[in-house]
Amino acid sequence: MFYWLMKVTIGPVLTVLFRPKVEGIEHIPERGAAILASNHLSFSDSFFLPLVLRRRITFPAKMEYFTGTGVKGRLTAAFFRGVGQIPIDRSGGSASWVAMEGGLDILRSGELFGIYPEGTRSPDGRLYRGKTGVARLALEAGVPIIPVAMIDTDKAQPTGQIVPTITQIGIRIGEPLDVTQYVGQESDHLVLRRITDEVMQSLQRLSGQEYVDEYAADRKRALQERAERMMAAAKAQADAAAAKARAEAAAATARAREEAVAAAAKARAQADEYAEWARTEYAAAVERAGEATARAKDEYAAATERLQAQVAEVTQKTRAQADEALVKADGALTKARAQAVEATGRAFASVSEGAALAEGWFAQARADSAARAEHLQEQAEHLQEQADEKSSRGQESDQERAERSVAAEGSQPGGVGDEKVVDTAPETKATSVSRERD
């Protein structure tokens, strides 16, 4: 029931999509048992052949489709049983024949039974040597063998591809092979081989495939072993490459470590050398700074002595000027007294007036002398303050120049040129005093 349901529902869809081109459909009998022996290119062969037949056909399927576990395994087994598939052990010999007895029952009931003489799908699209089970089954049931060639089904669904590719496929059905002349010789291996080879020759003519006188299972096994050897060789090469890479990495790491150690030692040596140079330069800079400080102190002392000498000279000159003014004042006073006496002698009547006048002149002269002396004293004090201020600025300037010299020599290697400080303040002060006196 499930078989016909699948054929009615899925069949039209597959027909539209893959447009199967069928040749020799007239070789399929309307009734009666027959074996349809087909080449095997794709998993979908068991779907496309029933699609074009009006009669039901049953295929053997590998045992693994019926022995799966879990939900997926049970669903797969139910599907293949529903579409009329029977399990077969493909290991060969008696185990395979026990499974083929189910096909014999189908043939004895007058139905069609499909079989793949190669025993498995072609690994490379070529036609491989057939197994004799098809001949033995035909002799046991006494039915004809109808060769069927599947065309391009491997393009629609290559091995390993789940979703088929939409492309046109073909089915060529050959004339039935009558094996009734060999009935009763199903135990003769040579007869079975002759019948099987004749079936494979028919399939080769129908399909146009290259024939390989080797079992497909053996070819697959050889390919698998070759693949395993290649995988083993690749793994060995990969392991060797990995070992070589590890060794090279270890050597590179060791070299890098040695280079790092050497670089660190070189860097430390350079750092020590630079530190020693810096210490030497710093000591030299400190020494030069000390010498500059000593020179600055000597120049400051000399400038102070010169300034003090200038101040003393100005003070002495000021005192001399004051004494001179006092002398002039005394002379003026004497003169005034003399004039007063003379005036007294000439005019007694105007004694009081002359005395008052003389006293006024004397007072004025004394006041002028005192004012002149006071002014000179203020100038001397002002000059002393300017000398002290100049001395203080000279000391600060010398100290700043010494500090800048130390800082410059500490940051930049090299000597510091001696700079001679010339203080022109005493000359300026003397000039000022001279101009004030004038």
pLDDT greater than 90 at residue 22: yes
pLDDT greater than 60 at residue 198: yes
Confidence of residue 162 (pLDDT cuts 50, 70, 90): confident
125: alpha, beta or left, given left = phi > 0 and alpha = psi -120 to 50? left
Question: Residues 296, 402: contact at Cβ < 8 Å?
Answer: yes
65 CA to centre of own chain: 50
Confidence of residue 320 (pLDDT cuts 50, 70, 90): confident
How would you class 76 by CB atoms within 10 Å of its CB: exposed for 0-12, middle for 13-18, buried for 19 or more?
middle
d(CA 32, CA 106): 11
Mean pLDDT of the 372-394 span: 81
d(CA 262, CA 296): 49
pLDDT greater than 60 at residue 330: yes
Instruction: Kindly report the backbone phi and psi dihedral angles of residue 276, in degrees, each rounded to the nearest multiple of 5, phi listed first.
Output: -65, -45
Question: Residues 142, 30: contact at Cβ < 8 Å?
Answer: no
The predicted model scores a pTM of 0.52
Confidence of residue 214 (pLDDT cuts 50, 70, 90): very high
Mean pLDDT of the 76-81 span: 67
DSSP characters for 381-428? Answer: HHHHHHHHHHHHHHHHHHHHHHHHHHHHHHHS-S----------HHHH
Mean pLDDT score across all residues of the chain = 82
Confidence of residue 277 (pLDDT cuts 50, 70, 90): confident
Confidence of residue 422 (pLDDT cuts 50, 70, 90): very low
Question: Residues 433, 383: contact at Cβ < 8 Å?
Answer: yes
Mean pLDDT of the 324-353 span: 78
* Lowest mean per-residue pLDDT among 54-58, 74-78, 253-257: 74-78
Instruction: Kindly report the backbone phi and psi dihedral angles of residue 148, in degrees, each rounded to the nearest multiple of 5, phi listed first.
Output: -130, 125
pLDDT at 94: 57
231 CA to centre of own chain: 33
CA-based radius of gyration for the chain: 68
Q: Which DSSP state fits 114?
A: E
3-state secondary structure of 126: coil
d(CA 149, CA 44): 13
d(CA 412, CA 267): 22
pLDDT greater than 60 at residue 336: yes
pLDDT at 27: 96
d(CA 93, CA 31): 31
| pLDDT tens string 393-413 | 776 676 777 777 767 665 555
Question: Residues 199, 178: contact at Cβ < 8 Å?
Answer: no
pLDDT greater than 50 at residue 232: yes
pLDDT greater than 60 at residue 24: yes
Q: What percent of the chain has pLDDT over 90?
A: 27
pLDDT greater than 80 at residue 427: no
The answer for residues whose C-beta is within 8 angstroms of residue 413's C-beta and 6 or more apart is 277, 281
Higher per-residue pLDDT: 279 or 37: 37
pLDDT at 438: 45
pLDDT at 354: 62
pLDDT at 186: 86
Mean pLDDT of the 289-309 span: 84
3-state secondary structure of 119: coil
